[in-house]
Amino acid sequence: MLLMLCLTGLTQIGFAQQHPTKGKLATIGYLRGPITVENITTFGPGFLGHDIRTVIASFPEPKTEFETTDQYQNRLDSFIAQHQQQYVFVNDPKEDNHEDMGDFKYDADDEAIYRTIKLYSSGDDGRSILLRSKLIDRGSYVGSNAFGVRKLVTKWDQTNYELSVTTKSEFFVNDDLYNDFIWLIKIKVPMIASEAAAAKNYLRIALVCTLVGSDIVHTDTYRGATITDPTEVHLHDRGLPVVINKVLIFDSRTGHIQPTAKWN
């Protein structure tokens, strides 16, 4: 049962961004500019890859009423031409608390670390991988229902930044139970137990991608507060259209890429 507004307030929390020098691999901060991953053996310590939020923000604005179709298309063509590069997006362990991303688990019998990433169909042939999430506290208010029950309702805005994948890369496999409804990236990193125990918590996934098209996937939903769940949420999903070309596993302490890692 929905609650009615009585009193509003407003506070905000956010996430600071760090901006390294363009084109450099900074120890702290996101990568700006192109990077070549062919035959690369290390990213360097503290590598974070590209910031998906910055890449999404760089996309062209929609066509305006004062712009001809040709002018708009030229603007799109220019953007696409300037962004024909590989992007590297790194998973953030703070965002990996959802089933889709899985987690690294060691199998002592096989002497290998395993992880499975799940890409669920969204109904329009699209699949997504959550990389970053921004949560803003919009304050709270006292709400009541038709029976006079009052609750303190918390208001949140949440923006999820995701990779939107519509093309099935050759190393994706189908789920055994759900077949093509779920695409899987199965990761295996051979490693003896002592090395695995020391490295497991520092392993990161680098998704090497190229952009496809110039349309960001926008999905906005709202969930109203109820007596049993007095939370009001405005959810904004922003999907970056990409093809995943390669998956690399590396140690975040050194940036060393695991040469024996496999995915299939």
pLDDT tens column, 176-200: 877 778 889 999 999 999 999 999 9
Whether the CA torsion 92, 97, 100, 102 is positive or negative: it is positive
For residue 158, give the 3-state DSSP assignment: strand
For residue 215, give every residue at least 6 positions away whose Cβ sits within 8 Å of its Cβ, in sequence order, or none.
241
| pLDDT over threshold 50, residue 129 | yes
For residue 241, give the 3-state DSSP assignment: strand
Average the pLDDT over 110-139 and give the result: 85
| pLDDT over threshold 50, residue 4 | no
Res. 33 pLDDT band, cuts 50 70 90: confident
Q: In this structure, what are the phi and psi dihedrals at residue 173, rounded to the nearest 5 degrees? A: -125, 155
Bridge-partner residues for 250, per DSSP?
204, 257
pLDDT reported for residue 113: 96
Ranges 31-35, 111-115, 153-157, most confident: 111-115
Q: Is 79 left (phi over 0), alpha (psi -120 to 50) or beta?
A: alpha
Ranges 84-93, 128-137, 139-148, 200-209, most confident: 200-209
Token pair 């953007």 in the structure block, residue: 79
pLDDT reported for residue 79: 84
More confident residue, 144 or 42: 42
Give which of 11, 224, 10, 14 is closest to 135, Cα–Cα: 14
Task: Classify burial at 108, counting beta carbons within 10 Å of its beta carbon; exposed 0-12, middle 13-18, buried 19 or more.
Answer: exposed
Supply 230's token pair.
Answer: 């007095």
d(CA 126, CA 196): 34
For residue 19, give the 3-state DSSP assignment: coil
pLDDT reported for residue 123: 61
d(CA 249, CA 104): 11
d(CA 35, CA 49): 9
Q: pTM (2 decimals)? A: 0.79
More confident residue, 150 or 97: 150
14-32 tens-digit pLDDT: 223 333 333 344 335 898 8
193-237 tens-digit pLDDT: 999 999 999 999 999 999 987 788 888 899 888 888 888 999 999
pLDDT reported for residue 254: 94
Contact at 8 Å (CB) between 209 and 245? yes
Contact at 8 Å (CB) between 139 and 11? yes
| pLDDT over threshold 90, residue 149 | no
Average the pLDDT over 67-79 and give the result: 89
What is the rounded radius of gyration, in angstroms, for the C-alpha atoms of the chain?
A: 21
Amino acid at 44: G
Res. 264 pLDDT band, cuts 50 70 90: low
Task: Name the average pLDDT for the chain.
Answer: 82
Average the pLDDT over 68-93 and give the result: 88
d(CA 72, CA 180): 36
Give which of 4, 261, 245, 241 is closest to 129, Cα–Cα: 241
pLDDT reported for residue 124: 62
Res. 148 pLDDT band, cuts 50 70 90: confident
**Full DSSP string of 184-229:** EEEEEEE--HHHHHHHGGGEEEEEEEEE-SS--EEEEEEE--BSSS
